[in-house]
Amino acid sequence: MTMTGGHHHDAHHEDFQLKDTNPLLGEQWPKGAAGPARPAVGGGIAGWLGLEKPSSTYDLVEQMFFLYVRVVKAKDLPPNPITGSPMDPYVEVKLGNYKGTTKHYDRRANPEWDQVFAFSKSRVQSNVLEVYLKDKEMLGRDDYVGRVVFDLAEVPTRVPPDSPLAPQWYRLEERRVGGGGDGGGLKVRGELMLAVWIGTQADEAFPEAWHSDAATVRGEGVASVRSKAYVSPKLWYLRVNVIEAQDVQPQARGRAPEVFVKAQVGNQILKTSVVAAPTLNPRWNEDLPMKNRDGRGTTDAYCVAKYGQKWVRTRTMLGTFSPTWNEQYTWEVFDPCTVITIGVFDNNHLGNGNGNGNNAGGGGGGSPPARDARVGKIRIRLSTLETDRVYTHAYPLIVLQPSGVKKMGELRLAVRFTCLSLMNMVHLYTQPLLPRMHYLHPFTVTQLDALRYQAMGIVAARLGRAEPPLRREVVEYMLDVESHMWSMRRSKANFFRAVSLFSGAAAAARWFADVCHWKNVATTALVHVLLLILVWYPELILPTVFLYMFMIGLWNYRRRPRHPPHMDTKMSWAEAVHPDELDEEFDTFPTSRQQDVVYMRYDRLRSVAGRIQTVVGDMATQGERLQSLLGWRDPRATCLFVVFCLVAAVVLYVTPFRVVALVAGLYLLRHPRFRSRLPAVPSNFFRRLPSRGDSML
């Protein structure tokens, strides 16, 4: 994954469109085929730069080469020449201007480290790798014991799934100091077990290795740089129904008892006397000024991807506006009608003075900010992807700020959706979206709001205890915790979504009016012929309708969407939003305005209008799902519906109309005993169809 850009421009000149990219993915390099030409860094590593790129498990990203050095252990080390006691050994690995060090041991002649160092090929500045063994001195300069030198042209290449390279013992060498006939000779000073190889990001040692591009990070910040995978807790809903109490004795004589029931699970406490939903206090009044480091703007970007219970976090690329991750992750899809969310953040928790978050408009101390900055996010509905097709696009990273909509850069992704069993996936389209109890004993809207907020808090608390932590601001942004709040902009967007659905009906009405007014004689004549046929042969009405929808589905196939959905700024009403409406959207809740009366009415209006915008959005979603039946937004669902239309047309053609009408009437009027409390198959199928809600900002 690659993000480019990061500069702010006027919203009217921004390019918010999805772009096709043509990266050289791992699967496009057949085994034995040479990769693309790369610029030379030094003459001594030409063999490294010209390596062939065999295929590997990282087949959706460009291969990135690293020089790996595994420092295992040492033996037979000489004692300290001054004190005579065992030395305090540690190893320093040096390649050009980059060097990494292992931890040191106190007075140990046979230390074991088992640490891996990774040097990025793109930043190599030397053709010689030097591994030093040093004795840590408490006072003064560390004593140099010996070293091992490697020529990069002779370093072997390893490509997984090959077995790990076996480490070897190397004798430490040191040039003698002073006169004598053999003053320039070498003498042995112990042995060091090392493994040196050239590999890619698919290597098993990559995630836990020390990386040269993060050499300036120290202390606790090292953990927040590396890529990690997280698993959110499995959540269950516990329903407690308080019915009544009996024989309650008052504490004071002559006074009616005031009682309530309190239920507590963990840190969640509910009381029967509290009827109001929990108050939410999301804060929108944040801007994204770039960080300043050494007098210039910088970004330390990382990606977070979430699907189901699995969260992943890429490594942090320090000090660049064009970070290149090239990391690949896999999720097991439990339902194709689900969404994967990918967000980009600016790391402000590197520590040791790195990542100072001083605002661009003012000073401030050297302490880093408390929150990682949002760069942008995208959502991809898996059902909109064709099976086994690799989608390579540049997604615009769009963030709405108090000053307007901003493009923060682009995120280049390669996405592939695979299916092992077509029958199982087709069967999923007929299943209910939720478990059985959600339909037998449904939750109220107030209960759902409270449960969603509690679930977000549980997930944020669990992931915040991981190492490195996935912080609360990241979890809130990925889970759209503020999406239910009132926004005039969202209300307008949902309204126009609903209005656009009636444009097709209006066009049909205009067409029928043109037919009635004989605007096109040929069309009117054909409609007359069709009218006569359907009047004289009413049994052809339903077959004609289904056959017509079948033909429309086939006709729309050539115009089916070729790109996954992305954030649509025009549909979200983000480009033409009024500044006062943005001020209202980014205002705190409760409002920060003066006047007590306005305070109360303003909050009440926002609360009620938030419900209205949800209802309008749901109405638009149903209409958009109806449109997607023949729109090929979900290729599998449209294919199923088109085939059903063809079969229905044939069956209804050969079956007498009276029989069809009688069977349909009896089915609709059947006894409740023969009805299931679960949704019908057509309803399950319809609810799984995609809508444009996934493209809303």
Predicted confidence at residue 343, as pLDDT, reads 93
Burial 41-54 (b: 16+ CB within 10 A, else e): beeebeebbebebb
CB 172 within 8 A of CB 196: no
Task: Please tell me what DSSP assigns to residue 235.
Answer: P
CB 224 within 8 A of CB 316: yes
DSSP H stretches of helix in 537-656:
541-557, 579-585, 596-627, 635-654
Q: Do the first three CATH levels of 65-175+187-215 and 291-350+369-440 match, i.e. the same topology?
A: yes
Domain boundaries, the chain: 65-175+187-215, 291-350+369-440, 499-695
Domain covering 291-350+369-440 in this structure, CATH number? 2.60.40.150
Dihedral angle computed from the Cα positions of residues 354, 355, 361 and 366, in that order, rounded to the nearest 10 degrees = -40
Predicted confidence at residue 38, as pLDDT, reads 33
Burial 504-538 (b: 16+ CB within 10 A, else e): eeeeeeeeeeebeeeeeeeeeeeeeeeeeeeeeee
Give the orientation angle of helix 503-516 with respect to helix 488-501, to 10 degrees: 30
What does the alpha-carbon distance between residue 441 and residue 446 come to, in Å, rounded to a whole number? Answer: 15
What does the alpha-carbon distance between residue 511 and residue 518 come to, in Å, rounded to a whole number? Answer: 10
Check residue 360 and give left, alpha or beta (phi > 0: left; psi -120 to 50: alpha): alpha
CB 405 within 8 A of CB 574: yes
Predicted confidence at residue 591, as pLDDT, reads 73
Check residue 364 and give left, alpha or beta (phi > 0: left; psi -120 to 50: alpha): left
DSSP codes of every residue in 171-196: EEEEE--S-STTTT-EEEEEEEEEEE
Q: What are the average pLDDT values for consecutive 10-residue runs of the chain, which has 697 residues?
A: 43 69 64 37 38 55 85 84 76 86 79 88 82 73 78 83 82 59 54 88 82 70 73 76 72 66 75 42 38 65 91 87 86 90 88 44 44 89 90 88 84 89 88 86 82 86 85 89 79 83 85 83 84 81 89 90 82 81 77 71 76 84 90 91 93 85 76 80 90 84
CB 446 within 8 A of CB 425: no
The count of C-alpha atoms lying within 13 angstroms of the C-alpha of 330, restricted to the half-sphere facing its C-beta, is 6
Phi, psi at residue 143, to the nearest 5°? Answer: -85, 135
What is the bridge-based pairing of β-strands 112-120 and 210-211? Answer: parallel
Q: Which residues contact 177 (CB under 8 A, 6 or more apart)?
A: 183
Predicted confidence at residue 632, as pLDDT, reads 92
Phi, psi at residue 650, to the nearest 5°? Answer: -70, -45
Q: Which two tokens stand for residue 344?
A: 């980009």
Which pTM was predicted?
0.67
Which 3 state secondary structure label does DSSP give 600?
helix
CB 368 within 8 A of CB 355: yes
What is the bridge-based pairing of β-strands 339-346 and 262-265? Answer: unpaired
Predicted confidence at residue 293, as pLDDT, reads 58
Q: Name the fold adopted by 65-175+187-215.
A: Immunoglobulin-like (2.60.40)
Give the orientation angle of helix 657-668 with respect to helix 541-557, to 10 degrees: 80
CB 114 within 8 A of CB 70: yes
Predicted confidence at residue 370, as pLDDT, reads 64
